[in-house]
Homo-oligomer: A and B are copies of this chain.
């Protein structure tokens, strides 16, 4: 650590003022760096989890695989995310983590979380809150996959990615890069690559989105939001109940 600002710190300070102690605790999480090539496996389901990772750059995703090859992509990770958190409660990881692009990760042993729990109730509360927020996002995804049509699911998927990217990149407008293949988007939405292709083509013909050079452009974001009843969980966070500094 480092001449450039930590993404984790920048993401967390959106929600709460961090004390010097908090900054020190977080710095320990990003002490090491590790480069990961594109399309590489970072963690396999069933492995014993010793290390968590902070994403410094790159795109990755977590997926749960079935014995016959069916796959559910459960989240897409970007700079500032902590990988492996849901798994720490379990002896054996449930998820496969896979890089999409080249990525830089900061591994840290899960025992470093102790120190946070013992030292900073306020930072603990924030990590807790973020993990509960993530839980709500999983619930949103469950609703999307369980109760929405293909068109609604794709709209939901694109909006979720866009809003997530805006958290760590405030300047982002309505255009973003989409390095995931349509097969991967299908695995994230519970559809097939063919349906993704047809649905996105339809959204494009209806002028709700556009696609150019690997970018997605949300041309009618309000219409997309109405289409799938999207709620931005990244914005509305309640920190009032946290312990005092």
Contacts and interface: CB of A to CB of B under 8 A. Distances in A.
Interface string A120-140: 010011011111111110111
A117 B244 CA distance: 11
A141 interface: yes
A95 interface: yes
Interface string A128-161: 1111111110111111011110000000000000
Given A66-B143, A135-B135, A92 B236 contact: yes
Given A132-B88, A147-B72, A66 B142 contact: no
Interface residues of A, number: 58
Nearest to A110: B241
Contacts of A136: 86-87, 89-90, 94
Contact of A132 (B89, B143, B189, B236): B89
Contact of A139 (B64, B70, B140, B190): B64
Given A66-B143, A74-B143, A128-B128, A241 B90 contact: no
A139 B65 CA distance: 11
B128 A121 contact: no
Nearest to A15: B89
Main secondary structure of the interface of A (DSSP, over half): helix
5 nearest A-B residue pairs (beta carbon):
A146-B190, A72-B143, A89-B132, A117-B121, A89-B133
A64 B143 contact: yes
Given A113-B241, A133-B89, A229-B66, A190 B94 contact: no
23 contacts: A64-B139, A66-B229, A70-B148, A71-B147, A72-B143, A72-B147, A74-B143, A88-B129, A88-B238, A89-B129, A90-B133, A90-B136, A90-B236, A94-B139, A117-B124, A117-B125, A121-B124, A128-B128, A128-B131, A131-B135, A134-B135, A146-B189, A147-B190
